[in-house]
């Protein structure tokens, strides 16, 4: 396992659409292990492969709280099959936009389908933080960042802040 570099805005790779994965094999599991280690080191609760420069439809996530046992989750070729009409606001942040947080309104519940670490197909419903996080990470697979849901002014402020942090 290895910690990979997390790309930050305005890196152009973050705007790429990720490609579906043909099969869950040992090479893909090694990538997911690296992604998980990278996410924990950052620290964060979710990471899409594109954030480490790999344009594949792969996400890792762990929503366990501090001091709780780790609960890593793996999502290969995830799809949202249903979204609730009810929405909920949540203050989001992103490892590709360090130290910037803002409120985003998203569907409160979603149903999703994906392949897990073993390559088994899973279908389940998500709500609360899980729903927010999976939608946020799936946006990455389409080249969308959470700041793309904000006003142009807020987006520009976020990018400016990240550039300033990198220069410091």
In order of start, what are the domains of the chain with their CATH numbers? 12-167 (3.90.45.10)
The token pair at 66 is 């501090």
The token pair at 5 is 């570099």
pLDDT in tens, the chain (168 residues): 799 999 999 999 999 999 999 999 999 999 999 999 999 999 999 999 999 999 999 999 999 988 899 999 999 999 999 999 999 999 999 999 999 999 999 999 999 999 999 999 999 999 999 999 999 999 999 999 999 999 999 999 999 999 998 888
Q: Does 137 participate in catalysis according to the annotation?
A: yes
d(CA 139, CA 72): 20
Asked if residues 36 and 60 have their Cβ atoms less than 8 Å apart, the reply is yes
d(CA 132, CA 101): 14
Query: Catalytic one among 99, 137, 142, 156?
Result: 137
């Amino acid at each position: 396992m290895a910690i990979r570099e997390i790309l930050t805005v305005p890196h152009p790779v973050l705007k790429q659409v990720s490609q579906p994965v043909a099969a869950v094999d040992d090479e893909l599991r090694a990538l997911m292990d690296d992604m998980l280690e990278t996410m924990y080191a950052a620290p964060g609760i979710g990471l899409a492969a594109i954030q480490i420069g790999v344009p594949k439809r792969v996400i890792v996530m762990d929503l366990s709280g501090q001091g709780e046992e780790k609960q890593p989750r793996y999502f290969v070729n995830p799809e949202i099959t249903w979204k609730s009409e009810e929405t909920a606001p949540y203050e989001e942040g992103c490892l590709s936009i360090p130290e910037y947080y803002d409120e985003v309104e998203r569907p409160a519940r979603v149903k999703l389908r994906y392949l897990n670490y073993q390559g088994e197909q899973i279908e389940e419903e998500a709500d609360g933080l899980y729903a927010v996080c999976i939608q946020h990470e799936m946006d990455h697979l389409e080249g969308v960042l959470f700041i793309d849901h904000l006003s142009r002014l807020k987006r520009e402020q976020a990018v400016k802040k990240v550039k300033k942090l990198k220069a410091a």
